[in-house]
Amino acid sequence: MRFGRLFSVYSVLGVIILAFSLSVIFSFSNLRRYEALARTELTDTTWILAQAEIELIRFLYALDLYMYGEPDVVRKEDVVAHMEIFWSRLPLFLEGREGRRLARVGDAQDTARSALKTLARLEPAITGLRREDQDGYRVLRAELHGLLAPLKRTLIDAREWQEASAGIRTERLDRIYAEMIIAAIGILVSTGCLVLLLLHEIRLAHRAQMAEKRALARLSEAIESFSDGFSLFDKDDRLVLFN
């Protein structure tokens, strides 16, 4: 009866420890996954937008220098080169991993598509622009400068989205840390209970052993005190005690 009760107690404690251990493993797995996600997602998603804005400003500056600077400072080829650099930044809004991120940021992709269409439409005028064509320059300058405001708004939206995403990830990580702490406490408590139970059983076994020794000693003393001969045999007729 006692053995059955102890077995039940040990089984329950074992199941509890196993459950908490699995919880720790699961929480640790989630933690590693979210940390990997954080390392990937918390990279600055605004760098593409910032680069595009910088390249547009450089493009406009090169265009201004071409029209008003010294002839040998900026050539038309330099203006076209800056246009192509700015142009090359825009497809990144729409493709690959960065494109998937920016798809969640306001009008980032619509801004990129609009800028691509504008560049495709203005490219012949830019490549054919002459220094003497001030009217053509002013029209081009106005349209290209009009691309700056949408880029700035998109950059602000991206920063706000990034901050909100960082907050959500921080909450997830905090929740996982809390789960791991609770599971670890559960393991410690369950293990402590198991250790205390084992120590209690060891003490009981030791007491029972000492009580048995004392009883045998008293029995031996009583038998030795008999004046007559005394013999005790077991069921197999083997001599167990005698005086």
State the number of CA atoms in the 13 A half-sphere of 28 facing the CB.
8
Contacting residues for 65 by C-beta, under 8 A, at least 6 apart: 73, 74
pLDDT at residue 57, rounded to an integer? 94
How many CB atoms lie under 10 A from the CB of residue 156?
14
Q: What is the pLDDT of residues 184-233, one digit of tens each?
A: 777 777 777 777 877 877 888 888 889 888 888 887 777 777 677 777 77
What average pLDDT score do residues 71-84 get?
A: 88
- Angle, nearest 10°, between helix axes 108-127 and 134-145? 170
pLDDT at residue 4, rounded to an integer? 56
What average pLDDT score do residues 158-170 get?
A: 77
* 117: pLDDT strictly greater than 90: yes
What average pLDDT score do residues 69-96 get?
A: 88
pLDDT at residue 39, rounded to an integer? 54
* 43: pLDDT strictly greater than 60: no
pLDDT at residue 164, rounded to an integer? 78
Residue at 74 is within a domain: yes
Its domain, for residue 95, covers 42-146
What average pLDDT score do residues 53-67 get?
A: 93
What average pLDDT score do residues 58-71 get?
A: 89
Residue at 33 is within a domain: no
User: How does residue 118 score in pLDDT terms, banded at 50, 70 and 90?
Assistant: very high
Structural domain count, the chain: 1
* 3: pLDDT strictly greater than 60: no
The b-or-e profile of 184-211 (16+ CB within 10 A means b, else e) is eebbeebeeebeeeeeeeeeeeeeeeee
Residue at 195 is within a domain: no
Residue at 68 is within a domain: yes
Q: How much of the chain, in percent, has pLDDT values that exceed 70?
A: 82
User: How does residue 88 score in pLDDT terms, banded at 50, 70 and 90?
Assistant: very high
Residue at 120 is within a domain: yes
* 42: pLDDT strictly greater than 50: no
Mean pLDDT of all residues belonging to the chain: 80
Residue at 70 is within a domain: yes
pLDDT at residue 197, rounded to an integer? 77
Residue at 65 is within a domain: yes
